[in-house]
Amino acid sequence: MGSLNIENVKKAFGPVEVLKGINLEVTDGEFVVFVGPSGCGKSTLLRVIAGLEDSTSGRVVIDGADVSATPPAKRGIAMVFQTYALYPHLTVKNNMGLGLKQAGTPAAEIDRRIGIASSMLSLEPYLSRRPAELSGGQRQRVAIGRAVVREPKLFLFDEPLSNLDAALRVNTRLEIAQLHRRLKATMIYVTHDQVEAMTLADKIVVLNAGKIEQIGGPMELYNSPANEFVAGFIGSPKMNFVDGARLGETAKTIGVRPEHLTVDAKSGAWKGTVVHAEHLGADTNLYLDCEKAGLITVRIFGVYNAETGATLYATPDPAKTYRFGADGKVLK
Amino acid sequence: MSTATSSLPRTIGAHAVLLTYTVIALFPVIIVIVNSFKSRAAIFGAPLAPPTPKTFDLIGYTTVIGQGDFIHYFQNSLVVTVASLFFVLLFGAMAAFALSEYRFRGNSLMGLYLALGIMIPIRLGTVAILQLMVASGLVNTLTALILVYTAQGLPLAVFILSEFMKQVSDDLKNAGRIDGLSEYTIFFRLVLPLVRPSMATVAVFTMIPIWNDLWFPLILAPSEETKTVTLGAQLFLGQFVTNWNAILAALSLAIMPVLILYVIFSRQLIRGITSGAVK
Ligand SMILES: Nc1ncnc2c1ncn2[C@@H]1O[C@H](COP(=O)(O)OP(=O)(O)O)[C@@H](O)[C@H]1O
Ligand SMILES: [Mg+2]
């Protein structure tokens, strides 16, 4: 009771094509994350699913029913927005209850659902406050609560954590993950942050310039990216890309993740000088300017002392080196 | 307010300039009000002096109030101003919402068309308006004035309000749509309260020219029944004798209602700014 099918959805704003034919299948209970750089069309796709935007062509099917002509309120969805979007003139309780009231749900049922949602999100002490009297984290929890009480087939989140500070972001992320486990509902979550995508998703959809680059589980995308874009987008720090010709390789580009490089003071494949070192405690990021490979990042687990200007040799793990063709696709 | 950049001499200088300007701007108004409480001889003898027990005289006010119709003129002015203001704000806000919220063919052209009236004075169309009113039998009715003033106020209202409506969060409107609110509810309950400060600004800009207008009352509704205050005050401005006491009293009284409306709107304005409704 919460499947979603998107069939060849296209969306253009005037002459600008923002979605260029999206096909996607989401099964019941899945947590799917749309990830991609800003402006790639994630929000537009989510708004098309919600019915806030009409697609130029293609079908949106929720639970087997074509909803392309159904208004947002009747699609059985709930949405959480980046800017919280709470009704400023209503109390927390009424903010959560408005949608049900509009749908003609009996008052007792509304109260019951608000009770459950507010205890789930620890919002009970704030029920009679207005949004202006809440902190950012509390506001976003109210917005999530407003979605929960609707008991939707499909939860839609549009960058819900972007306006929160770093500590709150981790907490709220955890809360969303728990919510998903408890409600077993289908959730679609949009973010530009690959860490959020990796930590939350059952399935990640990587979007770029209105097209799907790859669909897969977090580890699948990390271990076997389909192309250069996905390889560079997933993983932090970013994968190193080296011009194949400089290394005497046939592939156009060679990719190796910072964590799949080892360094040694005496010998190795790529000789370079340390440009900068970032000490994070748990790991150390070294930026090396190599003769053959150019500027690369090396991630070393634990503490590693390296002076700026020192000479080091970096060696890639051959089993974890990716080779990309001229079209950006991975070469097997 | 003491910031690192404001020094005492600078503060004094700024206040001196502002105070001078205030005095210059208020001077004529004060003179009108002060002299309205004086006898005729004292008005001409010492126009700048405040009323003393000897020169104090309410003759102007008694004349104005005694002239039974004057209350009626006041009513007319108030009806015309408030009704026009209501329609300007209602239709202006609705048009602005449509222009800023919906994508439709000719949207920006329509916006330009609606804003064109800012540059073209409505009085250029007086003859046509008069013919129109004669043809529709609206001459000497307050309706005629309300219609004209609504048309006169709309362009600026649409122009200003659509700028502000564009700033209202899309997410908020979309949240309303997902909760099943109608477009009207979204407009009246979510958007209008958030643009209240700009509505107050538009109200002030719209109201004052309507209240002060002499032109259209004189042309479209000069009858005894429909006279407005500004037109009514002309009564005391004779060709040979002018009743200055009565004129000054009438003008002083005419300031009051706009002043009250202004205070109401400017409080809205400040409340709107300080409530921090969006985030
Ligand atoms: N209402 C609109 N009119 C015109 N262009 C739009 C509109 N909404 C979004 N776009 C364009 O579509 C592209 C994708 O936007 P969006 O889906 O918001 O990206 P994101 O992936 O950052 O959420 C952007 O280039 C944006 O400029
Ligand atoms: Mg977005």
**A19 CB under 6 A from ligand 1?**
no
ipTM above threshold 0.95: no
Residue A83: which of B193, B275, B279 has the nearest Cβ? B279
Residue nearest to atom 12 of ligand 1 (CA): A18
The total of structural domains in chain A comes to 2
Q: What is the pLDDT of residue B279?
A: 41
Q: What is the pLDDT of residue B70?
A: 83
Among the bound ligands, name the one nearest to the CA of residue A13: 1
Q: Which long-range contacts (CB under 8 A, 24 or more apart) does B123-130 make?
A: B123/B215, B126/B215, B126/B216, B126/B219, B129/B220, B130/B219, B130/B220
Whether A330 maps to a domain, the answer reads no
Last residue of a domain, one of A230, A264, A295: A230
Question: Percent of chain A, pLDDT > 90?
Answer: 91
**A106 CB under 6 A from ligand 1?**
no
Q: Which residue of B has its CA nearest to A13?
A: B103
pLDDT score of A163 more than 60: yes
Neighbours of ion ligand 2 (CB under 5 A): A 43
Q: How far is the CA of A41 from the centre of ligand 1 (A)?
A: 6
Q: How far is B213 from B233, CA to CA, in rounded Å?
A: 12
pLDDT tens profile A118-149:
999 999 999 999 999 999 999 999 999 999 99
Q: What is the pLDDT of residue A88?
A: 92
What is chain B's alpha carbon radius of gyration, rounded to the nearest angstrom? Answer: 23
Distance from CA of B172 to the nearest CA of A (A): 4
**A210 CB under 6 A from ligand 1?**
no
The total of structural domains in chain B comes to 2
Same domain? A190 vs A276: no
Q: What is the pLDDT of residue A244?
A: 92
**A205 CB under 6 A from ligand 1?**
no
Whether B24 maps to a domain, the answer reads yes
**A125 CB under 6 A from ligand 1?**
no
Residues in chain B: 279
Same domain? A200 vs A248: no
Whether A183 maps to a domain, the answer reads yes
State the residue range of the domain holding A257: 239-324
Residue nearest to atom 1 of ligand 1 (CA): A13
pLDDT score of B275 more than 70: no
State the residue range of the domain holding B131: 68-277
Same domain? B76 vs B13: no
Q: What is the pLDDT of residue B231?
A: 87
Whether B62 maps to a domain, the answer reads no
DSSP-derived 3-state class of residue A288: strand
Atom from ligand 1 closest to the CA of residue A207:
21
Q: Is the peptide bond before B121 cis (omega within 30 degrees of 0)?
A: no
Average of per-residue pLDDT across B154-179: 93
Same domain? B257 vs B139: yes
Same domain? A127 vs A266: no
Contact A52 B177 (CB under 8 A): yes
Whether B18 maps to a domain, the answer reads yes
Whether A256 maps to a domain, the answer reads yes
Q: What is the pLDDT of residue B146?
A: 96
Q: Which residues of B touch A (CB under 8 A)?
A: 169, 171-172, 174-181, 189-190, 193-194, 275-279
Among the bound ligands, name the one nearest to the CA of residue A37: 1
Last residue of a domain, one of A176, A209, A230: A230
Last residue of a domain, one of A196, A230, A264: A230
pLDDT score of B112 more than 70: yes
pLDDT score of B5 more than 70: no
pLDDT tens profile B249-270:
888 888 888 888 888 887 776 6
Q: How far is B87 from B91, CA to CA, in rounded Å?
A: 6
Average of per-residue pLDDT across A288-315: 93
CATH number for the domain harbouring residue A201: 3.40.50.300
Q: Which residue of B has its CA nearest to A43?
A: B171
CB B208 within 8 A of CB B265: no
Average pLDDT score, chain B: 87
pLDDT score of B87 more than 70: yes
Among the bound ligands, name the one nearest to the CA of residue A35: 1
Average of per-residue pLDDT across A35-44: 95
pLDDT band at B278 (very low <50, low <70, confident <90, very high): very low
Q: Which of A293, A303, A241 is nearest to A272 (CA)?
A: A293
CA dihedral over B174, B178, B183, B185, signed as positive or negative:
negative
Q: Ligand 1: which of A10, A11, A22, A43 to mutate, most ligand atoms within 8 Å of CB?
A: A43
Average pLDDT score, chain A: 94
pLDDT score of B3 more than 60: no
Whether A302 maps to a domain, the answer reads yes
CB A197 within 8 A of CB A210: no
Give the best residue of A102, A105, A114, A163 to mutate against chain B (max B CB count within 10 A): A102
- In this structure, the number of other CB atoms found within 10 A of the CB of residue A10 comes to 16
